[in-house]
Structure 1
Amino acid sequence: MPDDPHPIQPPGSAPPDQTATGDQSPPRNLEAEEALLGTLLHNDRAFEYVEQLRGSHFYVPVHGRIFEAARGLIQQGRRADAVTLKPQFAKDQALAGIDDYLERLVHGAMPPEAARQYGEIILDLAQRRSLMEIGARIEYNASDVRVESSAAAQIEDAEQRLFEISEHGKGPGGPQPFVSGLTDAIHAAEMAYQLGGKLSGVTSGLTELDDLLGGFHRSDLIILAGRPGMGKTALATDFARVASKPETFIPWEEDAGKQKGIVAVFSLEMAATQLANRILSAETSISSESIRRGAINDRDLTKLIDVSKDLEELRLFIDDTPAISIPQLRTRARRLMRTEHGLRLIVVDYLQLMTATRNHNSRVNEISEISQGLKSIAMELNVPVVALSQLSRQVEGRDDKRPQLQDLRDSGSIEQDADVVLFIYRDYYYKAQQEPQQKNDETDAEHIRRHAEWQTRLAKIANSAQIYVSKQRHGRQGVANVHFDPRFTRFSNLHEPKQ
């Protein structure tokens, strides 16, 4: 047996007694790594306590390889010990002496429960080394003016890297006692009861829709879909506008003060100025076109100024970065969550304009990555996410133009990932395109009569819209009838339309 207690230590590795950090030395604890590996090889039940670890977390590369080999065997349901691991390294000349080293590791084994503490030490030190690397990268990029990325872009990149370190350090969710979920469910029921059994989430501002949904609930992904011209953006903007008003805040569980927070709109199609224009129009009943063109009078201008002062109180943030990715959106949403007000609602307009982070062989897979990412954000931040989606053109080929779940364009796993699917539909949009033309054998009087009947039918549905709740994971399906005013791109309650 060799005298060197670390016979396979790679060149350049720190000696075993250097377990603390110097001024520039990477933090490490080789004894903790050896103790964990020995414990794992002696009793693979220890793996239950370190499932979150990966080989990359170990400072000594050989230790990482040993851990990965053991992890692979255990996950296959096979035993991992000094005997079963030897064939894994038999052909690697660089690991001469590994047999004796594995045996020595086993001799230092501790009870399986001790693996938890060793794993925590290894993970903490790995994160510290990653922090040092990120810090060095930040310093280098910030000090080199030749680096093309702006300071803002470097900050976002650093935040994303820090987030990845945090995520990689999280252990698996794992089983929880039923009583834990039961307690949360009872608490939610008590809150709903105190609120009259109606609104227990973020209000949509539309009574019939709130009656169906009970508001937009934490951790839910809500898909709002419709064909062009239906008013998806207008409706989503209304959701954001109403939800960001202080008077709509509700006492939401124990951290109510924190949740009286920010509404974040990620607008990939319209600029922030355009959305602000729409909100001004909805609040003042002055058409957005008139506001944009300046076709207003003194009275209108005074009204705009007065209303704008009130709108300054909205906790509404708009990010109009085009083609944003899931990691970028997550980073910016987490930044808002860390503010003193917290985050109340996220709106994304729209899903198909987002950028996938990986190369996929189909558009369907790209959309699946994006929808799964949005659901992940909703769950991680514990806020509702409303994401707009296009519908397939096949809707136009049917006599019944009302949308169905199968119409979700490039749907991928959208329907599966969504907790709620809403379809916006306005029959007026299609009926307006069916103006009756005079037939060859038709008199002028008959044509005028038919045209007048068409105009009458059109007038009756001009301001009518339906929001179909076609999927609700924890509730019923249904339809909410609402009022739509195209002049001000505003949705309101059907029986109480704003004038």
Structure 2
Amino acid sequence: MDAPLRSMPHSIEAEQSVIGSMIVDKTSIAEAMEVLKTEDFYKDSHKAIFNAILDLYQKDIAVDIITLTEHLKSTDKLEAAGGITYISELSGSVISTANVQSYIKIVSDKSILRKLIRASTKIIEESYNNQDDVLRTMDLAEKEIFNLSNGKSTSDFEPMSVVLERGFLEIERLFNNKGETTGVPSGFRDLDMKTSGFQKGDMVLIAARPSMGKTTFALNLAEHAALRAGKSVAIFSLEMSKEQLAYKLLCSQAHVDMLKLRTGNLDDKDWENIAKASGPLASAKIFIDDTAGMSVMEMRSKCRRLKIEQGIDLVLIDYLQLMSGSKGGSESRQQEVSEISRSIKALAKEMQCPVIALSQLSRAPEQRTDHRPMLSDLRESGSIEQDADLVMFLYRDEYYDKETEDKNIGECIIAKQRNGPTGTVKLAWLGQFSKFGNLDVIHQE
């Protein structure tokens, strides 16, 4: 005999108590809005009523039986909501709103259980149907549970009115805070003026030939984000060890010559500077992983765990070409790099933070009279150029021309910016301290 079908977890009584409390008490509306979404209700009529209450509340219209039923009539949803009699019963059944928080929690918990069941079903189906790619199945399982633990479900269609309403609120906030850096600040004034910081969900590419200071520049960004802006930064170093990065950060923060640090040839002033710098660095939310040859799936898994435990505001990858793809059977390295690039962009969207990936350029700039990198130098690197929201090249003329007038000057060339201008920002190069610094000169391309 077949086992009876079980209904999904729900509590009609708790849903009725929440809706009833929202009708009779404005405070309950605010409390419910903070926790619940429309899809958290099991019964369709409750979804319709909840939506109508939110509409009235957001338009600053008092919520009662009359305004609610009239609003549902005007949107042709009164019947779907159960009719006037049912709405009256909901409000009339509420003796006190004192326990509304408990009812909200019950509704939320039941909703999470339903989502967990759906996610588990999806994982089971994937496990049966995709037995040749265990890593992919594990990644899917982890992503489903991660999204649930972060209170986030898969994105779905939204009407333009809802998207625009959210957009206008953000535009209004920016208008009231003119000049504010909206993303994670770089610490370089002229660069932030062009980019307004590194934005959530963006893939940022920093590319250069060897010895231009890519790692130094990236660590300067991490240092400023963590120490000055209080951000949580994850660094994946596939080339240098954790200790090497720590030394570079220490030299930058303490203004101590890297050679003196490596040889132990430090004077009393150096020790004093190191002591002052080590405290803030030790307490900074900078997390370093130096696993060699890491795959994108491994990186995503580690980011998910770190986000739950510490939060993540910025991810740095040094560098992209040292990563391995999730599929061992790529026809070419170019295809593998393209897959890695697309996965990094997906990581930025999933973590809802900027991901900065460093990239080594080919010898193409060496063949030109002007050795400054160009976007065309990325063409051999798969789809990196297309996937990146912001592409920056680092260049130091002094590396090629010892007699140049631009001694100790680096250029950060913004070659592509999806939502902003391109151009070149000049920076001071303080190589002995593993550091770039601000300059007041901007050369517009």
- TM-score for both structures, normalised by structure 1: 0.60
* Separation in 2, partners of 1:199, 1:171: 29
* Separation in 2, partners of 1:211, 1:129: 45
The yes-or-no answer on 1:291 pairing with 2:261 is yes
> Residue 374 of structure 1 is aligned with which of 341, 344, 367?
344
The yes-or-no answer on 1:178 pairing with 2:157 is no
Deviations 1:338-370 (A, max 9, x none): 12x521100100100001011211111101110
Q: Could you say which residue in structure 1 is the equivalent of 2:225? A: 243
* Separation in 2, partners of 1:312, 1:195: 33
Q: Look up the equivalent residue of 2:120 and give its one-letter code.
A: Q
Q: Could you say which residue in structure 1 is the equivalent of 2:109? A: none
Give yes or no for contact 2:252–2:434 (8 Å, CA) kept in 1: yes
The yes-or-no answer on 1:485 pairing with 2:430 is yes
Deviation, 1:180, is 2.4
Q: Could you say which residue in structure 2 is the equivalent of 1:383? A: 353
Q: Could you say which residue in structure 2 is the equivalent of 1:335? A: 305
Deviation, 1:125, is 6.1
Q: Look up the equivalent residue of 1:188 and give its one-letter code.
A: E
* Separation in 1, partners of 2:272, 2:155: 55
Q: Could you say which residue in structure 2 is the equivalent of 1:17? A: 3
Q: Look up the equivalent residue of 2:2 and give its one-letter code.
A: P
Deviation, 1:128, is 6.1
Q: Look up the equivalent residue of 1:248 and give its one-letter code.
A: A
Shifted more, 198-207 versus 212-221: the winner is 198-207
Deviation, 1:167, is 8.1
Deviation, 1:194, is 4.0
Q: Could you say which residue in structure 2 is the equivalent of 1:124? A: 117
Q: Look up the equivalent residue of 2:181 and give its one-letter code.
A: L
Unaligned runs of 5+ in 2: 9-112, 128-134
Deviation, 1:191, is 3.4
Residue identity over aligned pairs, in percent, reads 36
Which has the larger Rg? 1
- The correspondence of residues 102-117 of structure 1 with structure 2, limited to 5 A, is none
Shifted more, 161-170 versus 461-470: the winner is 161-170
* Separation in 2, partners of 1:391, 1:267: 18
Give yes or no for contact 1:345–1:385 (8 Å, CA) kept in 2: yes
Q: Could you say which residue in structure 1 is the equivalent of 2:362? A: 392
Unaligned runs of 5+ in 1: 1-14, 22-26, 28-119, 135-155, 250-260, 433-453
Q: Look up the equivalent residue of 1:357 and give its one-letter code.
A: S
Q: Number of residues paired by the alignment?
A: 326
Deviations 1:19-61 (A, max 9, x none): 469xxxxx9xxxxxxxxxxxxxxxxxxxxxxxxxxxxxxxxxx
Give yes or no for contact 1:278–1:489 (8 Å, CA) kept in 2: yes
The yes-or-no answer on 1:279 pairing with 2:265 is no
* Separation in 2, partners of 1:171, 1:213: 30
* Separation in 1, partners of 2:5, 2:238: 49
Q: Could you say which residue in structure 2 is the equivalent of 1:439? A: none
Deviation, 1:166, is 3.9
Q: Give the 4+ runs in structure 1 shifted more than 6 A.
A: 120-123, 156-159, 167-172
- The correspondence of residues 28-427 of structure 1 with structure 2, limited to 5 A, is 124=117, 127=120, 160=139, 162-166=141-145, 173-245=155-227, 247-249=228-230, 261-339=231-309, 341-358=310-327, 359-408=329-378, 410-427=380-397
Give yes or no for contact 1:390–1:409 (8 Å, CA) kept in 2: no
Q: Look up the equivalent residue of 1:127 and give its one-letter code.
A: S
* Separation in 1, partners of 2:372, 2:209: 10
Shifted more, 211-220 versus 309-318: the winner is 309-318
The yes-or-no answer on 1:463 pairing with 2:408 is yes
In structure 2, the CA distance between the partners of 1:123 and 1:295, relative to structure 1 (3 Å rule), is closer
- TM-score for both structures, normalised by structure 2: 0.67
Say what the alpha-carbon RMSD is for the aligned residues: 3.1
* Separation in 1, partners of 2:308, 2:420: 31
In structure 2, the CA distance between the partners of 1:430 and 1:122, relative to structure 1 (3 Å rule), is closer
* Separation in 2, partners of 1:371, 1:492: 29
In structure 2, the CA distance between the partners of 1:176 and 1:492, relative to structure 1 (3 Å rule), is same
Q: SS state of the match for residue 185, structure 2? A: coil
Shifted more, 364-373 versus 197-206: the winner is 197-206
Give yes or no for contact 1:389–1:409 (8 Å, CA) kept in 2: no
Deviations 1:174-228 (A, max 9, x none): 4321122213322332333344334111111101110110000000000000111
Deviations 1:418-450 (A, max 9, x none): 101001111111103xxxxxxxxxxxxxxxxxx
Deviation, 1:172, is 6.2
Deviation, 1:18, is 5.3
